Amino acid sequence: MKSGNNFVEIVILCAAYMSGCAQAPPSEGGSTEAGGSGTGGVLTGGTTGTGGATGPGGNHGSLPALTVNGTTLQDPTGKTIVLRGSALIDIGALYAYGGNSATAITTRLDKVAAAGVQGHVVRLPVYPKIDYNAGYPTCSPLPYPVGSGPSTSCTPTTPMSAGDYVSKVLKPAVDYATSKNLYVIIDYHQIDNATTGTSAADATTFWADIAPQFAGYPNVIYEPFNEPIDTSASWTTLKPVVQGWIEHIRAAAPNNVIIVPSTIYDQRPGDAASNPPTGTNLMYTAHIYPGNWNATFKSQVTTAVAKAPVFITEWGYVLNGSDRTMGTSSTTYGTDFETLVDTYGASWTAWVTDNSWLPNIFSDGGLTQLTDFGTVVKNWLAAKATSDWVQ
């Protein structure tokens, strides 16, 4: 869940892509996701990134596989590991707006690292062909080609086959991040009801392709479904759907960590962790923004961390922002959140490393100046750079 303001890019996309994704009912405090890819739809800043190529069966970096043990994530020595980092925007958009080249993705990773907001893990959002977003489709210019539904207002400007998307977009991004000693979350970035409609089946199709291709990467973590909306469904209704995704992933990738979603835009992790799907190496996510961080949600996270490790794959804020979900007037929101999350022992990736997608870590098109949010991310990462890291 994220949010943003409405605007139109030079590159013509559906309006909702530019303005937002997950729009939860006001009573749930849901958040939305901001569209845009830099000033005028053109990526800015950075030097060309190189390296990281690893072929099938090759060396996929030096990072060890992590495992879930009770309420903690651990390295092979048994040390508790807390992963902290940040998220890119839609990697298809980076590729398409960056000259149809994976260099735009590696450049973005370089800029994020140079600014001190990369940490030890990066989340790579892979957008499907249509993001339903409660009836307001969010279109990627270059999506992974899965997803049925309205098409006239959601036609990719740079379509690719599934094979080309993996070989030209996703794998180069994963390989480069791996070469930089990063854990990588492959995030199937759909926002829709998963207990009705076709989105759950689309996710299954995606993972049947993707899971086996990255099963040999010990640093790759799978996030099966970004945000199930399902505000009217209970966890017991969503659980069999999630179980199906886990089983499809496990058929090809028996060991990679999987991040389990929950209902109401990932605001019910306590319900999920209290009645968990069958499987090992499961973590539970929560997507936290000022406008949805109410007493019920806090109680859910408290319940979850007492039962299983939690990975907050999205959090962020806009200081003095007007958006009801992302905005806050509290000058201590970020540091207060840091203190609380450290008591949880939760892993996290901050959303999002951009200047126009919101909540924005950067304030300039060159991606060198940090917002208040970005400064908190940088300082937090610096303070914890080695304390919970692999040996």
Share of the chain above pLDDT 70, in %: 83
Inside any domain, residue 5: no
The H helix count followed by the E strand count for the chain is 12, 15
| 261-299 pLDDT per residue, tens | 999 999 999 999 999 999 999 999 999 999 999 999 999
- The pLDDT assigned to 60 comes to 79
46: confidence class by pLDDT, cuts 50, 70, 90: very low
Q: Which residue has the higher pLDDT, 374 or 15?
A: 374
Residue 348 near residue 316 (C-beta atoms within 8 A): no
For residue 145, what is the domain's CATH number? 3.20.20.80
| 208-240 pLDDT per residue, tens | 999 999 999 999 999 999 999 999 999 999 999
**Average pLDDT score, the chain:** 86
Instruction: Tell me how many domains the chain contains.
Output: 1
Rounded mean pLDDT, 65-90: 98
- The pLDDT assigned to 347 comes to 98
**Does 128 have pLDDT greater than 80?**
yes
pTM: 0.88
Inside any domain, residue 290: yes
**Does 4 have pLDDT greater than 90?**
no
- The pLDDT assigned to 131 comes to 77
**Span of 7-16, 115-124, 376-385 with lowest mean pLDDT:** 7-16
Cβ atoms < 10 Å from Cβ of 387: 8
Inside any domain, residue 7: no
Q: Which residue range is the domain that position 372 belongs to? A: 15-383
Inside any domain, residue 332: yes
Inside any domain, residue 391: no
Inside any domain, residue 2: no
Inside any domain, residue 149: yes
DSSP state string for 264-311: HHHT-HHHHHHSPPS-SSEEEEEEE-GGG--HHHHHHHHHHHTTS-EE
Cβ atoms < 10 Å from Cβ of 329: 9
Inside any domain, residue 20: yes
Enumerate long-range contacts of 143-147, CB under 8 Å, 24 or more apart. Answer: 143/92, 144/92, 144/170, 144/206, 146/202, 146/205, 146/206, 147/190, 147/198, 147/199, 147/202
